[in-house]
Each structure stands twice: as structure tokens, then as C-alpha cells.
């Protein structure tokens, strides 16, 4: 347990604008609640939420990441443990809120995961789930490939696939999205994005993408997004519907388990 001052409380500001906006959104649902964060990583976001929640439990499949989070951030209302989203080792109706920000696309059996979330949520509990929008990754004029664009993703969802999965289990699903119209348009029209997208469908390319050093991955990201300027980085939030005049980069479902 970290008994002194939590040393990187301002690390939240180093996260991507999407992650920041997602967890700012979550704060409105978690006051004094028992919260589960699936795919907690190093625990920065859980620290950010800890001044609002009653208790927050962060889970991740990587033991080293969990150990680091426990060393840095564990405290009286934060707990971290190694666990898979496909088998949540909690009793039914244990949590008021479950958060899965950019994690469902990494989980092999997503159907099992959502059913587990439903099980551990209390009646009238909230599930906040975000994921990349597959359609935003398809450059202009390119075909929609089944293979994920990012090598660490098991899959990527179209809006119909994502909201359809959530609606299979939850009685109420509010369809939301995160977007930056200028950024999306620049990327889907970029030759660099088209080149990387075409290569990403090959299994060998995805394997190489998983094992490349971070420095080289950073160069590839820069190559893909070279046209972007600082004003293209921000993220906004709105309702999702089929007639938006832009393609949102990330989808969000705010689901409620209706009490019986």
C-alpha cells in the first residue's frame, strides 16, 4: 500500500484526450458507488476517480501492471487484482458501476464478458463501455476488412455490432460517441492511412506490429498522422445516430440494468 502522498496524481493529464473525456464522463455516475474498472492498466484513471467513488476495483490481465498499480496507488478505497473480463471472480450484483474503456476489443469472448458484467451489476447499475469505431479506421474508398486495424485488438466493431452486443443483455442502452470531425476527415483521406490500413489485414503484419519496439511504433503512428496539427487532437462527446455528418472515432454505450 502506498502510505504517503500518491506521487503521480497529475498523471491523468498525460493520458489521451479520449481517455480523459471518458473518465470525466464516468464521474457523473460513480459518486459514493462501488465501481469496477475493467482493463485498469497502471491505475492512473482509478486514482483520478478515487476522490468520488466509495470504492473502486481495477482489474487487468497483466500481473506486472497490477503489481505496479498496487505499489503506486492502492489505498483505502482502491484495489487492483489480476483477472480476465471473461470470468469476473465476484458475486452477482456486487457493483453499482462497471467501466470498460477501450478494453472490450481486447477480450477474446466479448459475449461472455458482457454477460459477466450484467451478472455482477446490481439492479439499476450502470455499465459504461467505449471502443474504437471500425468505420472510422477505413480510409476513403477502401473496403471494410474483418481483420482489426490495430495489432493488439481481437476485433473492432461497427456501430451495429457494438450496440447490438450491448442490447443483447441490457434493457436500456444510450448510444453515445466521441469524435473530432477535422481529425477523422484528414485521416480517412490520407495516403499514409490507406497504406497502413491495406497492410493491417495481413496476419504477419499484425504479428510484427505486436513485437515491434515502442520507438518504432511511435514512428509509424507519426507517419500515419503526419498531417494532423495540435488543434486536431481534442475529443468531443455527443449522441450517436445514423445520420451524423461525420464518422465518430469511438463508440460509447451507457447501459442500465433495469431492476426487477
Reported as a single tens digit per residue, the pLDDT across 207-218 is 666 666 767 656
pLDDT grade for 7, boundaries at 50, 70 and 90? very low
pLDDT at residue 47 greater than cutoff 80: yes
DSSP code at position 105: G
Q: Which of 28, 19, 21, 88 is nearest to 59 (CA)?
A: 88
CA distance 137 to 94: 36
What are 213-240's pLDDT values in tens digits? 767 656 655 555 555 554 545 688 999 9
146-150, 183-187, 204-208, 222-226: lowest mean pLDDT where?
222-226
Based on its alpha-carbon atoms, the radius of gyration of the chain, rounded to whole angstroms, reads 18
**Domains in the chain: ranges and CATH:** 9-180+236-256 (3.40.50.150)
Output the pLDDT for position 4. 42
Report the pLDDT averaged over residues 53-72: 94
Quote the pTM value: 0.84
Amino acid at each position: 500500500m502506498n502510505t504517503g502522498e500518491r506521487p503521480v496524481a497529475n498523471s491523468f493529464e498525460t493520458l489521451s484526450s479520449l481517455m480523459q473525456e471518458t473518465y470525466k464522463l464516468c464521474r457523473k455516475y460513480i459518486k459514493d458507488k462501488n465501481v469496477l474498472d475493467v482493463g485498469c492498466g497502471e491505475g492512473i484513471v482509478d486514482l483520478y476517480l478515487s476522490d468520488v467513488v466509495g470504492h473502486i476495483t481495477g482489474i487487468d490481465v497483466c500481473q506486472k501492471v497490477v503489481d505496479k498499480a498496487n505499489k503506486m496507488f492502492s489505498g483505502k478505497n482502491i484495489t487492483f487484482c489480476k483477472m480476465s473480463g471473461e470470468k469476473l471472480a465476484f458475486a452477482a450484483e456486487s457493483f453499482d458501476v462497471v467501466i470498460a474503456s477501450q478494453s472490450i476489443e481486447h477480450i477474446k469472448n466479448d459475449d461472455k464478458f458482457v454477460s459477466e458484467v450484467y451478472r455482477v451489476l446490481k439492479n439499476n447499475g450502470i455499465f459504461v463501455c467505449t471502443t474504437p469505431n471500425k468505420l472510422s479506421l477505413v480510409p476513403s474508398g477502401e473496403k471494410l476488412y474483418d481483420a482489426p486495424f490495430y495489432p493488439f485488438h481481437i476485433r473492432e466493431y461497427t456501430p451495429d455490432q457494438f450496440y447490438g452486443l450491448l442490447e443483447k443483455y441490457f434493457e436500456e442502452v444510450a448510444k453515445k460517441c466521441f469524435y473530432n470531425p477535422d481529425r477523422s476527415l484528414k485521416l480517412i483521406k490520407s495516403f499514409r492511412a490507406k497504406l497502413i490500413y491495406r497492410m493491417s489485414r495481413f496476419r504477419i503484419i499484425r504479428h510484427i506490429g505486436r513485437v515491434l519496439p515502442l520507438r518504432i511504433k511511435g514512428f509509424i503512428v507519426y507517419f500515419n498522422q503526419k498531417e494532423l496539427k495540435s488543434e486536431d487532437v481534442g475529443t468531443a462527446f455527443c449522441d450517436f445516430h445514423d445520420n451524423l455528418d461525420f464518422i465518430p472515432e469511438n463508440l460509447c454505450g451507457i447501459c442500465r440494468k433495469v431492476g426487477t
